[in-house]
């Protein structure tokens, strides 16, 4: 069982470049999420989706965009990368239900120079 | 808005000693509470969760947590720590409705001395 798969694992971007972080899950989960993790700050929610075609902003959405065309995929787009977007990004998915466990990918470490 | 406080940034314990990691939450309704563990370079793995019923919750790897509504706390415990428990631990509160969004604490880094 692959679970939640993120690509790439590492990436270095120059300021102003753009990129897409890929996330796919094979558990048929309706809900998907993007978090960023910065040292000493825990994880902050960027965007989330409750199903194909439905997305909404989280706590720190500025500078990012998402789409959800299928149940499996939830890519995160960075336009005009800035040093403040240097972080570790985690994709997660869960079933419906407030007590449902979130399953996390292994993360993408992004550095913007 | 909900929030989670983990007051201990770093904790060091000796192998075989007991462990307690503190977590306090702020949420207006009955909380859904989670503890996740993150090993270096890895994603997060669920240790245990509380959503109703018995306030003492058992999890994987010998961990347990106790929900205390009067203290707004959900502390994680383990009677005897193993060297492999060295990791970062995150407490989180789940928001009812609207996509199961999680609010995380800032984490506690656990070091285990042999």
pLDDT in tens, chain A (113 residues): 689 999 999 999 999 999 999 999 999 999 999 999 998 889 999 999 999 999 999 999 999 999 999 999 999 999 999 999 999 999 999 998 777 889 999 999 999 99
Cα–Cα distance, B96 to B46 (Å, whole number): 18
CB contact under 8 A, B100 and A97: yes
In this structure, what token pair is assigned to residue B34?
């989670």
Mean pLDDT of chain B: 93
In this structure, what token pair is assigned to residue B22?
């503190």
Q: Which residues are A55's β-sheet partners? A: none
Task: Give B37 to chain A, closest Cα distance, Å.
Answer: 11
How many H helices and E strands in chain B? Answer: 0, 12
Mutate to test the interface with A, among B46, B101, B108, B109 (most CBs of A within 10 A): B101
Mutate to test the interface with B, among A5, A99, A108 (most CBs of B within 10 A): A99
Query: Measuring CA to CA, which residue among B103, B106, B88, B112 is closest to residue B36?
Result: B88
CA A54 centroid distance within chain? 15
Question: How many inter-chain contacts (A to B, CB under 8 Å) are there?
Answer: 68
Question: Nearest Cβ partner of B101 from A42, A48, A101?
Answer: A48
Task: From chain A, pick out residues whose CB is under 8 angstroms from the CB of B106.
Answer: 40-42
Task: From chain B, pick out residues whose CB is under 8 angstroms from the CB of A40.
Answer: 9, 106-107
CB contact under 8 A, A4 and B43: yes
Question: Nearest Cβ partner of A31 from B9, B41, B99?
Answer: B99
Q: For the CA atoms of A68, A71, A76, A77, what is the dihedral angle to 10 degrees?
A: -40
Residue A84, CA distances (Å) to A68, A89, B16, B54, B88 in order:
25, 13, 41, 43, 23
Which pLDDT belongs to residue B100? 82
Judge contact between B32 and B94, C-beta under 8 A: yes
> How would you class A80 by CB atoms within 10 Å of its CB: exposed for 0-12, middle for 13-18, buried for 19 or more?
exposed
A33 interfacial to chain B (CB closer than 8 Å): yes
> How would you class A27 by CB atoms within 10 Å of its CB: exposed for 0-12, middle for 13-18, buried for 19 or more?
middle
Which pLDDT belongs to residue A40? 86
Q: Which residues are B64's β-sheet partners? A: B58, B77
Is there a cis peptide before residue A8, judged by omega within 30 degrees of 0?
Answer: yes
**Residue B53: pLDDT band with limits 50, 70, 90:** confident
């Amino acid at each position: 069982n692959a679970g939640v798969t993120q690509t790439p694992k590492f990436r270095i971007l120059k300021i102003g470049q753009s990129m897409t972080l890929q996330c796919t899950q094979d558990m048929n989960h309706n809900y998907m999420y993007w978090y960023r993790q910065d040292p000493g700050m825990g994880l902050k929610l960027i965007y989330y989706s409750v199903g194909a075609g439905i997305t909404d902003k989280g706590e720190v959405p500025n500078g990012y965009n998402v789409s959800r065309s299928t149940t499996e995929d939830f890519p995160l787009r960075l336009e005009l990368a800035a040093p403040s977007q240097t972080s570790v990004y985690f994709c997660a998915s869960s079933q419906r239900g407030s007590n449902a466990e979130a399953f996390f990918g292994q993360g993408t470490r992004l550095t913007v120079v | 808005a909900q929030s989670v406080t983990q007051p201990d940034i770093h904790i060091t314990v000796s192998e075989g000693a007991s462990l307690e990691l503190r977590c306090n939450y702020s949420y207006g309704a009955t909380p859904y509470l989670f503890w996740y563990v993150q090993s270096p370079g890895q994603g997060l793995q669920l240790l245990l969760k509380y959503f109703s019923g018995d306030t003492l919750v058992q999890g994987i790897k010998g961990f347990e947590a106790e929900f205390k509504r009067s203290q707004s706390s959900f502390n994680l415990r383990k009677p005897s720590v193993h060297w492999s428990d060295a990791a970062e631990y995150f407490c989180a509160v789940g928001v009812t409705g609207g996509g199961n969004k999680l609010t995380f604490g800032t984490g506690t880094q656990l070091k285990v001395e042999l």
